[in-house]
Amino acid sequence: MIVLVIILAVLLAVSVVFNLKLSKNKPPTVDSVHAATREILNHDVGAVLILSDSEQILFYNNEFEQLFPKIAAVANISEFPALRKLFSAKEYVSEELSKIYEIRCEFLDEDGSASRFLWLTDITSHYKTNKNLQELKDMADAANKAKSNFLANMSHEIRTPINTILGMDEIIIREATEKPIIGYAENIRDASTTLLSLVNDLLDFSKIECGKMEILPVEYEIANVLSEIMNMIEIKVANKGLEFTPVVAEDLPYLLYGDDVRLRQIIINILTNAVKYTKEGSVVLKVDWKEAGDSSINLIVSVTDTGIGIKPEDLDKLFVSFERIEERRNRNIEGTGLGLSITKQLLELMGSDLNVRSDYGVGSTFSFVLKQGIRDRKPIGKFREKYAYSREKHKKYRTTFVAPNARILVVDDNAMNIAVVEGLLKSTQIKVDKASGGLEALDLCAENYYDLILMDHMMPNIDGIETLHRLKEMDGPNQDTPVIVLTANAVSGAKEMYEAEGFIDYMSKPIQGKPLEEKILEYLPENRYVLVEYDKVEQDIFSKLWKSIADEITADYQFEQIDVTAAVESAEGSKETFRFLLESFRDNAAKNKNDIITSYEAEDYTNYTIYVHALKSTSKMVGALVLSEKARLLEMAGKEQNIDYIKESHEEAIDLFDKLAEEVNDYLTKVKPESEQE
Ligand code: ADP
């Protein structure tokens, strides 16, 4: 376009000169036309060259000559190949003049048969501006990345001392006898927990910013995710005197495939806000689902509160990082303005979105729909009731064992972490050896036998994984010792990853007393510990209580295979739990029986031993003591490779199993749950 304007200008100028000359009645000479053209084209329009249709050089201006001084000696462009190339180029860089030109090349006649026109415009300053802008943008990007990396590293570093504070504090709470001291320690625990969640938010935020946040799908039980959420949120709800109701669809498939860690985080974030921004009333968590084809479901989660609500004009600000709404009104409520932005971005990473409906002053509903795979369609059932049962069971937990003959090794480069584990295990009397790194651990392992090793993952020199690999390779007493890895990052899929490396299990930091004891008990050889019995008097009281509850149950139904008092003992005195145990037994009976029979028929006695071992405890749980004893003998025979005994007793065990299953079924059909009885 500009080219055409210039050409028009040139032609106009030529015609003006021509007309002037005409008006004086003198025909214009070619020279005078050229002079006028030259005059105009030499006025800062760029470098211009005009060729005839036979590539004869007709015209070039001063700037062109400055650029290509050799042009003066050339009549036809074919004698100047370097110049000819420009007709098909886009840019030309003149090193002598330190300039960059944009090249335009056009035909003066539209059909392309006549003269050509080459025009070079100086774009050096434009180019420099662009380049500067790009450089500035690169610098800003690099600074932003450095900030995110710094945040990620700092958050990681800050977590280590917080974990120590939490661990040491738990020891104080356990050991202190004076009430005020326990009170102070509890305050430290609450503040450190808040600090930890803050740092975790920062870590997530920076991970998302650097694009390092990964979604790791695994197989998971939705009831476990929901129970953990309930554990976290119930205390907060109770502290504020709110009502909290989880409504979970009973037909929700129990085994799903997705990133359970992130799902839990998202729901906890939304629920925590609902509790934070609600003064009175209720919070309802609803979990529903719909088929989504190709063995997946749409999980539909919503959280509704009767809280302060959000003004329509503020809705857009909800998801802006570090932005908080109505800061003055909410100044007493702790927060960073990161939670919802992380939640939304996590959902986006999983192909979903966060929806908000809110009525200012009335309440809000945050909801999302998340596609998850199905791994087992068995329905989850009555979540609330089952949760209440497992919580009761947890409450009654107390230190359960002493193990003065057991010896374990704790490997961690942070001495405080080791001190925490030592402190938490003090009451069990376990002998704890310490190593501050992988190499030291390997030295100790070459000389001593350990019943169990707890190994940190991230350590300088050689990390936990490398240490474990070397331990397995070296000759020594600990080749088969179970090793549990301690990790700061509880990400989804971590269990599978660590198991694949050869760890038997993993524990995430901060290490807490109860889970630590439970894990140790799981892997310590049976002959190394003694379970702490209840106090004798307490035991008597419980026995009487259990007997009376068993009497109530047997008044409705006469059991033959089940020792009801023993079953009530497993159910810790709850009739509801007793029924739940029987239901679980019934639900798994077909599979358990099938496992035993199939491995027996295949003469696969290794798996057979594992299955009868499981039968030993499941039958004991429901009070089927005769079957449990039979299973114990079969398990021993399996371990000793006493195949004759297995062959003699297998049928009898299956027979007992069938009778038990029939009785359990009969009871559950005939006797209604208490809640349904008039
Ligand atoms: P914060 O750390 O401030 O809670 P969030 O990103 O989680 O940060 O939330 C951003 C803002 O959204 C909050 O400061 C609050 O004003 C508002 N908000 C979030 N959830 C609710 C809710 N359930 N009811 C009312 N306001 C809410």
Per residue in 144-188, pLDDT (tens digit) is 777 777 777 777 778 888 888 988 888 888 777 777 888 888 888
Percent of the chain with pLDDT over 70: 86
Ligand 1 centre distance from Cα of residue 327 (Å): 10
Give the position, in ligand 1's atom list, of the atom nearest the Cα of 340. Answer: 6
Flag whether pLDDT at 204 surpasses 60: yes
What pLDDT, on a 0 to 100 scale, did the predictor assign at position 630?
94
Choose one of 233, 318, 345 to mutate for the ligand 1 pocket test, by most ligand atoms within 8 angstroms of C-beta: 318
Ligand 1 centre distance from Cα of residue 337 (Å): 7
What pLDDT, on a 0 to 100 scale, did the predictor assign at position 271?
96
Give the position, in ligand 1's atom list, of the atom nearest the Cα of 303. Answer: 23
Give residue 661's pLDDT band: very low, low, confident or very high (50, 70, 90).
Answer: very high
- Evaluate: CB of 305 within 6 angstroms of ligand 1: yes
User: Residue holding tokens 């004869």?
Assistant: 56
Per residue in 305-318, pLDDT (tens digit) is 999 999 998 888 88
d(CA 508, CA 586): 34
Choose one of 269, 273, 320 to mutate for the ligand 1 pocket test, by most ligand atoms within 8 angstroms of C-beta: 273
- Evaluate: CB of 308 within 6 angstroms of ligand 1: yes
Per residue in 67-93, pLDDT (tens digit) is 888 888 888 888 888 888 888 888 888
Flag whether pLDDT at 3 surpasses 50: no
- Evaluate: CB of 337 within 6 angstroms of ligand 1: yes
What pLDDT, on a 0 to 100 scale, did the predictor assign at position 20?
40
- Evaluate: CB of 381 within 6 angstroms of ligand 1: no
Per residue in 575-601, pLDDT (tens digit) is 877 888 898 889 889 988 999 999 999
d(CA 377, CA 386): 18
Q: At what angle do helices 605-621 and 575-601 cross, to 10 degrees?
A: 160
- Evaluate: CB of 600 within 6 angstroms of ligand 1: no
- Evaluate: CB of 373 within 6 angstroms of ligand 1: no
- Evaluate: CB of 256 within 6 angstroms of ligand 1: no
For ligand 1, atom 2, which residue shows the shortest CA distance?
Answer: 335
Average pLDDT over residues 505-512: 83
For ligand 1, atom 21, which residue shows the shortest CA distance?
Answer: 273
Flag whether pLDDT at 350 surpasses 50: yes
**Mean pLDDT of all residues belonging to the chain:** 83
Q: At 381, is the secondary structure helix, strand, or coil?
A: coil
For ligand 1, atom 12, which residue shows the shortest CA distance?
Answer: 318
Q: At 81, is the secondary structure helix, strand, or coil?
A: helix
Strand partners for 455? 411, 485
- 444-450: long-range pairs with CB below 8 Å, 24+: 444/409, 445/409, 445/471, 445/474, 445/476, 445/477, 445/478, 445/481, 446/474, 446/476, 448/407, 448/409, 448/477, 449/407, 449/477, 449/478, 449/481, 450/407, 450/408, 450/409, 450/478, 450/481
User: Which of 45-59, 427-441, 535-549 has the lowest average pLDDT?
Assistant: 535-549
Give the position, in ligand 1's atom list, of the atom nearest the Cα of 325. Answer: 16
d(CA 621, CA 615): 10
Instruction: Decide which of 148 and 45 is more confident.
Output: 45
- Evaluate: CB of 274 within 6 angstroms of ligand 1: yes
- Evaluate: CB of 577 within 6 angstroms of ligand 1: no
Compute φ and ψ for 253, nearest 5 degrees. Answer: -60, 135
What pLDDT, on a 0 to 100 scale, did the predictor assign at position 4?
45
What pLDDT, on a 0 to 100 scale, did the predictor assign at position 538?
54
Strand partners for 244? 283
Per residue in 388-404, pLDDT (tens digit) is 655 554 444 455 688 88
The rounded Cα 496 to chain-centroid distance in angstroms is: 14
- Evaluate: CB of 202 within 6 angstroms of ligand 1: no
What pLDDT, on a 0 to 100 scale, did the predictor assign at position 16?
43
Give the position, in ligand 1's atom list, of the atom nearest the Cα of 363. Answer: 24
Per residue in 353-387, pLDDT (tens digit) is 999 999 999 999 999 999 999 998 888 888 887 77
Ligand 1 centre distance from Cα of residue 309 (Å): 9
223, 246 contact by CB (below 8 A): no
Per residue in 428-464, pLDDT (tens digit) is 889 999 999 999 999 999 999 999 999 998 888 899 9
Average pLDDT over residues 622-639: 92
- Evaluate: CB of 623 within 6 angstroms of ligand 1: no
For ligand 1, atom 20, which residue shows the shortest CA distance?
Answer: 273
- Evaluate: CB of 325 within 6 angstroms of ligand 1: yes
Ligand 1 centre distance from Cα of residue 259 (Å): 24
Give residue 351's pLDDT band: very low, low, confident or very high (50, 70, 90).
Answer: very high
What pLDDT, on a 0 to 100 scale, did the predictor assign at position 624?
93
What pLDDT, on a 0 to 100 scale, did the predictor assign at position 61?
86
What pLDDT, on a 0 to 100 scale, did the predictor assign at position 370?
97
Give residue 629's pLDDT band: very low, low, confident or very high (50, 70, 90).
Answer: very high
For ligand 1, atom 16, which residue shows the shortest CA distance?
Answer: 325
For ligand 1, atom 11, which residue shows the shortest CA distance?
Answer: 324
Ligand 1 centre distance from Cα of residue 486 (Å): 34
Average pLDDT over residues 254-261: 91
- Evaluate: CB of 310 within 6 angstroms of ligand 1: yes
What does the block give as tokens for 425?
A: 């295990």
User: Which of 39-53, 182-196, 387-401, 409-423 has the lowest average pLDDT?
Assistant: 387-401
